[in-house]
A and B are shown apart, each in its own frame.
Chain A
Amino acid sequence: MTTSTNRRPRTIYSNPSRAARPEPEASGRERFWWIFMRLSGLALVFLALGHMFIMHVLVVLTGDQIDFAFVQSRWGTPFWRIYDLLLLVLAFMHGVNGTRIVISDYVAHRTARSLIIGVLLFISAAWLILGIAIIALFDPSAS
């Protein structure tokens, strides 16, 4: 066996979980994101699947429909606003970090990699701010 000089091994055989990255040995930023992906993933199992189930299964079964009035009734309560805000922020950070890791795996050129990830982070930050603004600015009493 040859020892890999890659910072992030691409072969799944080197990873006991056989689906993702092995835990970074050095503590630091990469280890933080490794742990973040697992903790946020665990929270998102409930938040994202719950959201999908309510919006696309329960709404159908109860004969309701997603329209402005529906959003008014949901975002009229702090609970669902906080739920959606948490879902938005966690899903976004989880997804963008995952994309960063995928990009790092396929773009070997250092400058190109930094550039692509930089663009990704810039666009994502703008989008996330828009998302937070929607939840924060929506006025349930408007008609």
Chain B
Amino acid sequence: MERSHELINLFGYRVSWAQLAWFGHRASGLGVLLFLFLHIVETSTVLFGPEVYDFTQTFYANLPAKVGEVLLMAALVYHSLNGLRVIVMDFWPSTTIYYRPLTYGVIAATTIAMVPLGLIILTPYLPWG
């Protein structure tokens, strides 16, 4: 039974951080796999020579694509950190009592890491960059 202070209100649904961490892990994982499928097709153009490949790469050189790139990186960073948390708790079950601070830590670390990383990727494509 979850205690009330573990729950947050999300669009009218009362969900726990554990549920959010679990949903985020699945959503980010599926998102990264979807991009991997696209990435393989896009990279296959390298077999058709420089003109074709360099043309394909221009699809990434715009702001919407760069925003997608930042989202992809955020998904990967979150999935990595949360995955490490799962591994730690699976192999050292005694750490499970720290699941809440560790989950907060994963979300905080992802957010903090994405600020400089996002700025590096986006700045050249921003109107003032």
A contact set with B: CB distance below 8 Å: 12-13, 16-20, 23, 38, 41-42, 44-45, 48-49, 52, 56-57, 60-61, 66-69, 71, 88, 91-92, 95-96, 98-99, 102, 127, 130-131, 134, 137-138, 142-143
Please tell me the size bucket of the interface on B. Answer: 35 or more
Find out whether the CB atom of B46 lies under 8 angstroms from the CB atom of A138. Answer: yes
Find out whether the CB atom of B121 lies under 8 angstroms from the CB atom of A95. Answer: no
Q: A18-B18, A19-B18 are in contact. Are A69 and B50 (CB under 8 A)?
A: yes
> Which chain A residue has the least Cβ–Cβ distance from B124?
A60
CB-CB under 8 A from A138, the residues of chain B are 46-47
CB-CB under 8 A from B46, the residues of chain A are 68, 71, 134, 138
20 contacts between A and B (CB under 8 A): A13-B2, A16-B93, A17-B85, A17-B99, A18-B22, A18-B99, A19-B18, A19-B86, A38-B90, A41-B87, A45-B84, A52-B76, A57-B121, A60-B120, A61-B120, A88-B40, A91-B36, A92-B36, A98-B30, A102-B30
B contact set with A: CB distance below 8 Å: 2, 18-19, 21-22, 25-26, 29-30, 32-33, 36-37, 40-41, 43-44, 46-47, 49-50, 53-54, 57, 69, 72-73, 76-77, 80, 82-87, 89-91, 93, 96, 99, 103, 117, 120-121, 124
Q: A60-B121, A69-B50, A102-B30 are in contact. Are A45 and B80 (CB under 8 A)?
A: yes
